[in-house]
A and B are shown apart, each in its own frame.
Chain A
Amino acid sequence: MSEDITKLEKIASQVRRDIVRMVHACQSGHPGGSLGCTEFFVALYFSAMDRKPGFDIDGIGEDIFFLSNGHISPVFYSTLSRAGYFDASELATFRKINSRLQGHPTTHEGLPGIRVASGSLGQGLSVAIGAARAKKLNNDNHLVYALMGDGEQQEGQVWEAAMYAPYNKIDNLIATIDYNGQQIDGATEDVLSLGNLRAKWEAFGWDVLEMNGNVMSEVLAGLTDAKSRTGKGKPVLILMKTEMGNGVDFMMGSHKWHGVAPNDEQLALALAQLEETLGDY
Chain B
Amino acid sequence: MKKYTYTDKKDTRSGFGAGLLEAGQKNQNVVALCADLVGSLKMNDFIKEFPERFFQIGIAEANMMGIAAGLTIGGKIPYTGTFANFSTGRVYDQVRQSIAYSGKNVKICASHAGLTLGEDGATHQILEDIGLMKMLPGMTVINPCDYNQTKAATIAIADYEGPVYLRFGRPVVPIFTDPNQKFEIGKAWMVNEGKDVSIFATGHLVWEAIQAGEQLAELGIDAEIINIHTIKPLDEAAILKSVAKTRCVVTAEEHNRLGGLGDSVAQVLAKNNPTPQEYVAVNDSFGESGKPADLMKKYGLDAANIVSAVQRVIKRKQ
Contact = CB atoms under 8 A, between A and B. Distances in A.
Interface string A143-185: 0000000000000110011011000100000000000000000
B9 to A, nearest CB: 37
B81 to A, nearest CB: 15
Interface residues of A, number: 39
A69 interface: no
B: contact size bracket: 20 to 34
Given A106-B101, A107-B102, A123-B98, A157 B66 contact: yes
B219 interface: no
Contacts of B65: 126
Given A160-B63, A161-B66, A126 B73 contact: no
B98 A134 contact: no
Contacts of A129: 63, 66-67, 70
Contacts of A115: 73
B75 interface: yes
B97 interface: yes
Contacts of A107: 101-103
B53 to A, nearest CB: 7
Interface string B68-82: 111111111010000
Interface stretch (A52-60, A189-197, A248-256): A52-60
B74 A59 contact: yes
Contacts of B102: 106-108, 116-117
A182 B205 CA distance: 53
Contacts of A64: 73
Interface string A267-281: 000000000000000
A123 B52 contact: no
B2 to A, nearest CB: 45
Nearest to A161: B63
Interface of A: 57-60, 64, 66, 106-108, 115-120, 122-135, 137-138, 140, 156-157, 160-161, 163-164, 168
13 contacts: A59-B74, A64-B73, A107-B102, A108-B101, A108-B102, A120-B93, A123-B97, A125-B66, A126-B64, A127-B73, A130-B67, A156-B62, A164-B58
